[in-house]
Amino acid sequence: MRVARWLSCFVLSGILGQSGGAWAQDDVPMPTLPGEELPQGGSVTTRAAHEAAMMPGFAALVERLLPAVVNISVSSVIHPDEQQPDGPDGSTPSGPQSSPFPPGSPLEKFFHDYLHRRHADGHPARQVQALGSGFIIDPSGVVVTNNHVIDNAQQVSVTLSDGTEYPARIVGRDSKEDLAVLQVKADRPLPSVPLGHSDDARIGDWVLAIGNPFGLSGTVTAGIISSRKRNVDHGLYDDFIQTDAAINHGNSGGPLFNLKGEVIGINTLIYGGSGGDSIGIGFAIPSDDARGIINQLRQTGHVRRGWLGVRYQDVTRNMAEDLDFWKADVPGKERGTGAIVAEVSKDGPARKAGLQVGDILTALNGQPVTGQTLPRLVAGYQPGETVHFTFWRRGSYQTLDLTLGRNPDEKDPLPSDTHPPEHPVKTLKELGVKLGVVDEAARTQYGLTDSQRGVLVMRVYEGSPAASRGLTEGNLVLQVGQQEVNTPEALQAALDRARELKRTDILLLVQDGEGLRWVAVPLGGQQPQP
């Protein structure tokens, strides 16, 4: 209210000043706000200075934070017939068809360069550049960003605020929480920022967003926390901070700071207009949710989440009334809240522990749960950990200890240099190639970048189907059809599926020194002996 009131007084005083009104005189006192006293000798000028002094200033804080916020440049592969995933605001990553900015303006150029990357039907697969944001959390060069920023990336580079650019290696990524950790090798300690405690943040607190919207590096926007614990049906683990700080394309992966200079959120989603532009509704992953994910990614390169083995629903007020379900500490006065079990998986951890259909889970390790918060809380623990549940059954509260399992539907993680697969080398006789993973030794030998992924062709046997199609040592196989491959085992599995479908050839996306090309390698025929 104080800001709006000061602005309205300023405009009104200017109008009256132009028409000779008395309010333009410096010696005319201004009325005070309720419960507020005007400084001694208060006038229009003094009052304006008083109001300005009470407004928050961010310059010193921004000067300290900017060096730790980075721009992320990604080289990815786009296919003509591939349906692109939704961008952070629900639009396609390549943006709208027309620019909202005046033709020839600098912003129109940024818009064109950043968003207009659509490809014509029938064109071959090609590499394109995209931009995002991130921040350094460790002076050794550990960078945090969104997974969707580096999704499908073949090369990733990080640019500091001073213009220094480094190639980046993907340490680990988690699509469910939309987080990724990168590593750059610098010849000096890099500026970093700490992760704060988002649970301490309150609605109405000031926050700063710093990032790379539309390619405009080092952009700072300010706002407040508009709400917390937002579920926008983006995923199973929704628990977003909502902010009105302006967030646009390119801000993804950037930090949301509190006034202590701590990262309390990772900017991830926006609700935008027709062009995906900011309308003051942005969402950030809370730092207290991200901290454990980031630690797992740094340690193991992937995330393991605990699995309960139940299907459940949020307990509505009508359900609570029908079941005569009350809170334990106020029986008969306040209806209970929790997650009611609708199905118990066979041989799952919940069944082994004795949970039944109709039980209402009310607390996990002393923390209250609902149908909305239960998946996120369970996911915060790893398979094999034992947790303590409080639950309601047929009129009484009970407790049990439960050892969480691993979700049988969870995919195996992608390999990384730090965490190679169990079998890094494999010979596929049917294709006539010897394959390996892209590790540190391969990068050195074949001059590959730190972020390149795929399956390395280590040898092509003479007279083989692969040799007949021009595959050579040092090529990378990135995809089989529309499926990415990163290990020899994954390529073998794709080959087995093609054989089951009685295909006559297998389509590979191959990268060599000239770029990308599709290669159809015939199946069957002569199988050379390695």
Q: Which positions are annotated as active-site residues?
A: 148, 178, 252
In the three-class reduction of DSSP (H, G, I as helix; E, B as strand; rest coil), residue 68 is classed as helix
| Displacement of CA 268 from its chain's centroid (Å) | 6
CA distances from 467 to 429, 433, 471 (A): 12, 9, 5
Contact 256, 208 (CB under 8 A): yes
Pairing between strand 425-428 and 433-437?
antiparallel
CB count in 10 Å sphere of residue 52: 10
Contact 426, 522 (CB under 8 A): no
Contact 123, 153 (CB under 8 A): no
CB count in 10 Å sphere of residue 340: 22
Measured at the CA of 47, the angle between CA 42 and CA 48, to 5 degrees, comes to: 155
Tell me the two tokens of residue 193. Answer: 């920022």
Q: Which residues contact 86 (CB under 8 A, 6 or more apart)?
A: 92, 93
How many Å apart are CA 241 and CA 202, to the nearest integer? 10
How many Å apart are CA 31 and CA 78, to the nearest integer? 62
Helices (H), 69-166: 106-115, 147-150
Specify the length of the chain in residues: 530
Contact 338, 360 (CB under 8 A): yes
